[in-house]
Amino acid sequence: MAELNFCPRCGLTLTTKEDGGRERIACPDDGCSFIDYGNFSIGAGAVVFDGERALLVQRGWEPNRGHWQIPGGYAEHDEDIAHSIEREVLEEAGITASVRDAVGFRHAIGGGIGGPSTNIYLVFRLDAEPGAPAFDNDEIIGAGYFSLDEMANMEHVQSLSRWAIELAMRTPAGGGLSKAMEGPGAGRPGWTLFALDPDGTP
Ligand SMILES: [Zn+2]
């Protein structure tokens, strides 16, 4: 990540400022209040079952063209996280699905060259409407529901995808963090609260 020289908000030459116990790139005192806290991104993946089979898509683009993985992608900065993964499942696999619960997440410091410095990748379990997967034959060159046995005979199934699928198979749907209807900020536009559900399916 190239270091910032000019304030992205007001254009002044940036300086540094002590904030929260460390020196950070910041706008000077006579400028705006901008402080550079670093770069973050949010990704999401979807575990979607049809009986004992899980949905996988095959990458059409590099890196890892030809590899199979659960559908997913980056959440837009102004997009509800549940909506973003439902959108990705529809875009990549032609399946209409809705978020049931969160299976797990990965926090990764670092990232690719030019990529975000820190990423959170959230894996959700989704309930799907029946239907055959469809794909664009460009970004995605294959899609289908596969059993674990079938996956064992496929080349290049992403390990994180298999991990999430096996976890979801071994835990009841709704056993993870679910969208909370009540709680601080639960009804506020743009806010979504995920929480353990004490009344959820055991
Ligand atoms: Zn500024």
Q: Give the Å distance between the CA of 36 and the centre of ligand 1.
A: 10
Between 186 and 123, name the one with better pLDDT: 123
State yes or no: pLDDT of 158 exceeds 80. Answer: yes
Q: Where in the chain is the domain with CATH 3.90.79.10?
A: 40-175
Q: Give the Å distance between the CA of 30 and the centre of ligand 1.
A: 9
Q: Give the Å distance between the CA of 92 and the centre of ligand 1.
A: 39
Between 166 and 187, name the one with better pLDDT: 166
Under the banding of pLDDT at 50, 70 and 90, the label for residue 185 is confident
Residue that is written with structure tokens 């835990």 in the block: 171
The pLDDT of residue 1 is 44
State yes or no: pLDDT of 45 exceeds 90. Answer: yes
For 40-175, which CATH superfamily applies?
Nucleoside Triphosphate Pyrophosphohydrolase (3.90.79.10)
Q: Within 13 A of 35's CA, how many CA atoms are on the CB side?
A: 11
Q: pLDDT digit string (tens) for 105-127?
A: 999 887 665 566 789 999 999 99
168, containing H or E segment: helix 159-169
Q: Give the Å distance between the CA of 21 and the centre of ligand 1.
A: 21
